[in-house]
Amino acid sequence: MSVSSPEGLTTQAYIKHHLQNLQVGDGFWSLNIDSLFFSVLLGIVFLCIFGFVAKKATSGVPGKLQCFVELVISFVDSNVREIFSGKSRLIAPLALTIFVWVFLMNLMDLIPVDFLPYAAQQMGVSHLRVVPSADVSVTMSMAIGVFFLIIIYTFKFKGGIGFIKEYTLHPFNHWIFIPINLVLELVTLIAKPLSLGLRLFGNMYAGELIFILIAGLLPWWSQWVLSLPWAIFHILIITLQAFIFMVLTIVYLSMASATDEDH
């Protein structure tokens, strides 16, 4: 089937072009330069905005930006207090970073699909994907980071012996079930980062693909009929996915830090 796209390509070629990252290297060791660039850029934007507000914060009547930042911090802090039962100075800043950073990465999906790629082509860049959270390598890298935090928190709060008991004496508290417990706990442990990273990737990839399909199948003057309602609905999705990633991270770390006395 050959359907003209906004770039004169077939629909299939148009979709494939927009779903291809700007890469260096081959195979497993290839790097998606565009995903790395936008994820780092958005991280810097987050730090600059919140750092600026922190320096300019006033006890008097706050400005709109300060009110917004304080609202976000209060929202994240209330969720951390409700979910995390232990004591750690890292959890609240980590939760805030995850929520805002993932939200900003998701927010890139609302930029018209041809806008930045077309600008990049004018500068000689052949491919450009602007939604880092629609790249499985980015979402799984973040999930692997959470995985290592789970291991660290389990060892920190439960000690070496408690760490071993966590994966050998649960759920069946008897030495004869150690092999079964170990298999069950390892499967559960590995499933946490997999579900965390793939959930975010799947939702954002699907959202990105729908925008691309609308742009590829409809003429430019009629795309707003479908893209505008989807964009409005997608605002809820990108916020919800950032919230879910943050909450699950807190839950996993709370479970890792829980001692026998907490149960």
For the annotated catalytic residues, the residue numbers are 195, 199, 203
38 close to 132: Cβ distance less than 8 angstroms: yes
Greatest alpha-carbon span in the chain: 69
Q: Where would I find the H helices in the chain? A: 11-18, 33-56, 64-83, 91-107, 115-122, 136-168, 178-217, 224-257
Question: Can you read off the two tokens belonging to residue 21?
Answer: 């990252």
CA distance 85 to 162: 18
Which residues, 6+ apart, have CB-to-CB distance to 126 below 8 Å? 22
- Distance of alpha carbon 93 from its chain centroid, rounded? 16
Handedness of CA 98, 239, 249, 180 (dihedral sign): negative
